[in-house]
Chains A and B, each alone.
Chain A
Amino acid sequence: MTESAPKPVLRIRDLVVEFKTEMGVIRALDKISFEVMAGESLGIVGESGCGKSVTALSILKLIPSPPGRIAEGSIELDGIEVVSQPEHEMRKVRGALASMIFQEPMTALNPVFTIGNQMVEVIRVHQKVSKTKAKKQAIEMLRTVNIESPEKRIDQYPHELSGGMRQRVMIAMALSCSPKLLIADEPTTALDVTVQAQVMEEIKRLQQEMNMGLILITHDLGVIAESCSRVLVMYCGKIIEMAETGELYKNPRHPYTRGLLDSIPRVRKEKLKTLPTIKGMVPDLADLPKGCRFADRCPKVEDRCRTEEPPLEDTEGGGKVACFHPN
């Protein structure tokens, strides 16, 4: 045991999450494994239906059940096995060990209580402190996330705040019990670009100051580039590529990652006549193709891709990729 060796705050092994639907049972997550170290920021990127939000929800066991359930695998949060944890124990884990911020700060806050009320409640679930003390802590937290005049803001209702401000409140609430892992599920998608940049800066700063593990879930590879040290690309419930951020952007191995990077709307030097695209669309989870799930859309598809599913294997760049013909 050396001080310097980073300890994983989260370790997921062969996680399978299933949902019962009309089309039968679908696998929203199909044997995914990854780790997050203390102080590390991991980005999870993918399009709708790839399982990125399901991953986030499973870590806190917040999968709506039924229809969903964790079918196999293990999730270790700071050494505690979450999958077998009963609900009342989970309540202690949520907020204290790991907490989460969501895309829509308006619906995540209860409109009939002041933000002070809601923050005090969260603090008092985990800490035995008086209401006045909890309120003081709440004000301190609001100050930490750079909300101006927190003494005044704390007695306001969610609708009196702007979108960016609400998201800051959500962050303050999530961090009020100093969790070891923060899961941010599309935290800036609902915000305007200028505000988005501010909020991302805030999350990054706090993550470093508090030495938390951070999982940033987003569809936007741009957001990840600026805030994460490692990236995980998901497609149809599988991890298809995993790499250090610099490496991934410089040298994407999987054709899907490549396509995703190319098709991001970005300001380019030259005006393009046609934007690069990935042809086709994400397949239905209930009706996945045999073999590689990306085969139908892949520019490099071979016969083998249609019969065999490529395993996630190490690359020479230090990452992992699930493809028979990586770049």
Chain B
Amino acid sequence: MEETLVQVKDLRTYYPIKGGLLNRRVADLKAVNGVSLDIPTGQTFGLVGESGCGKSTFGRSLLRLQKVTSGEVIIDGENILSLDRAGLMKARKDMQIIFQDPYGSLNPRMTVREIVREPLDTHKIGAKADRNGEVMRLLEVCGLRQTVADRYPHEFSGGQRQRVGIARALALKPKFIVADEPVSALDVSVQSQILNLIGDLQEEFGISFLFISHDLAVVQHISHEVGVMYFGKLVERAPAEELYSSPKHPYTKTLLEAIPQPDPTRNRTEVLVGGDIPSHLDPPKGCPFQPRCPVAMPECAEREPELKPVDSDDCSSRHQVSCWLY
């Protein structure tokens, strides 16, 4: 049995919606509305959803970069959300993040050396004299030549910047990394280079990843398990092979169907769903996907389904879906 490194229980992150004359809180935007998942040591959980589904907020909430409303995040036995400042500082060594925007994620006034060195200096890791060597080692691990150390971010291409960002995240030897759309801003030919790098790093250092993406095709090869998020909730989660071979939730099917395939002979088998993601100000009743769902039943508009195993006889099954069809 694999060991669980990250365990999230019923995480909720709400943003206040202010309005009215006195700018009071009139409602909550439920960006993350009760998500639970667990990630075993050395494995990757692919979290997929469209913009506004709360996936980025979820990732940032895990690392306490975002104020959480309720829930638990247990990483390596410690509840991150209840740590005090000193405890959080220590825990930060174990959890890091890689960002989407290779232009906004590096300080333009710092050299690559300073950027990768910052985590080492902040946590006073190793002797001062050795840190330089460590920076060089990290650059090499991430496929960058050592000659780039004294250059500035604006002198690099997107893919190289992303490698610098990864080197920075690796500096503290974390056990868990949130990768927030790390390849969506990159050119196609570079995307797979970075995906392969992340895969290699995982193999070499046994890091657990939460890999956030809007694209099911991107996470397929890198994930052990995949979760699909819609409107602040997980609507389906399954071991990667199972999710792609037999998707259950109509939304998952839609997402898979909508990926443009480089195959001119393909005919889309299913009808495309219309409409947009519902508004948080006026959430639909029942299942949030129900207004767009091609197979909605009367029941769907009344009660919201819960995430439960597809095969109700097998409670240990990791394939779970929240849909009244199952």
Q: Which residues of A contact B (CB under 8 A)?
A: 47-48, 162-165, 192-198, 200-201, 219-226, 245-246, 249, 259-261, 263-268, 271-279, 281-282
For this complex, 24 residue pairs linking A to B, each with C-beta atoms less than 8 Å apart, are: A47-B187, A194-B50, A194-B258, A194-B272, A196-B260, A197-B257, A197-B258, A200-B260, A221-B188, A222-B262, A223-B260, A225-B261, A249-B264, A271-B220, A271-B221, A273-B199, A274-B196, A275-B196, A276-B192, A277-B189, A277-B196, A281-B160, A281-B190, A282-B189
6 nearest A-B residue pairs (beta carbon) = A222-B260, A192-B50, A275-B192, A47-B187, A278-B189, A265-B217
With a 10 A CB-CB cut-off, give which of B50, B51, B187, B277 has the most chain A CB atoms: B187
Task: Name the A residues within 8 Å of B188 (CB-CB).
Answer: 47, 219-221, 260, 263-265
Task: Name the B residues within 8 Å of A195 (CB-CB).
Answer: 50, 276
Distance from B214 Cβ to chain A, minimum over Cβ atoms (Å) = 7
Q: A48-B158, A281-B190 are in contact. List 17 more A-B contacts (CB 8 A).
A: A192-B214, A194-B50, A219-B187, A222-B260, A222-B261, A225-B262, A246-B265, A265-B192, A265-B195, A265-B217, A266-B259, A268-B220, A268-B221, A271-B241, A275-B221, A281-B160, A282-B157
Residues of chain B from 222 to 275 with CB closer than 8 A to chain A in the complex: 240-241, 244, 254-266, 268, 272-274
CA distance A222 to B216 in the complex (A): 14
Residue in A198, A226, A264 whose beta carbon sits within 8 Å of that of B264 in the complex: A226
Distance from B278 Cβ to chain A, minimum over Cβ atoms (Å) = 11
CA distance A192 to B241 in the complex (A): 24
Task: Name the B residues within 8 Å of A282 (CB-CB).
Answer: 157, 187, 189
Query: B222's closest neighbor in chain A, by CB?
Result: A275
A225-B195 contact in complex given A195-B276, A267-B220, C-beta closer than 8 Å:
no
Contact call B261/A272, Cβ cutoff below 8 A: no
CA distance A224 to B262 in the complex (A): 8
Residue in A192, A260, A266, A267 whose beta carbon sits within 8 Å of that of B51 in the complex: A192
Interface size on B, as a range, is 35 or more
Distance from B13 Cβ to chain A, minimum over Cβ atoms (Å) = 21
Distance from B253 Cβ to chain A, minimum over Cβ atoms (Å) = 11
Distance from A304 Cβ to chain B, minimum over Cβ atoms (Å) = 24
CA distance A200 to B157 in the complex (A): 30
Q: How would residues 158 to 175 of chain B score, 1 for a CB under 8 Å from any chain A CB and 0 otherwise? A: 111000000000000000
Query: B272's closest neighbor in chain A, by CB?
Result: A197
Distance from B100 Cβ to chain A, minimum over Cβ atoms (Å) = 13
CA distance A194 to B259 in the complex (A): 8
A260-B217 contact in complex given A221-B262, A225-B264, C-beta closer than 8 Å:
no
Contact call B187/A267, Cβ cutoff below 8 A: no
Query: A247's closest neighbor in chain B, by CB?
Result: B264
A263-B258 contact in complex given A47-B187, A194-B50, A225-B264, C-beta closer than 8 Å:
no
Does B218 make an interface contact (CB < 8 A)? yes
Contact call A271/B240, Cβ cutoff below 8 A: yes
Task: Name the A residues within 8 Å of B266 (CB-CB).
Answer: 225-226
CA distance A246 to B262 in the complex (A): 10
Task: Name the B residues within 8 Å of A267 (CB-CB).
Answer: 216-217, 220, 244, 256, 259, 261
Contact call B159/A281, Cβ cutoff below 8 A: yes
CA distance A271 to B222 in the complex (A): 9
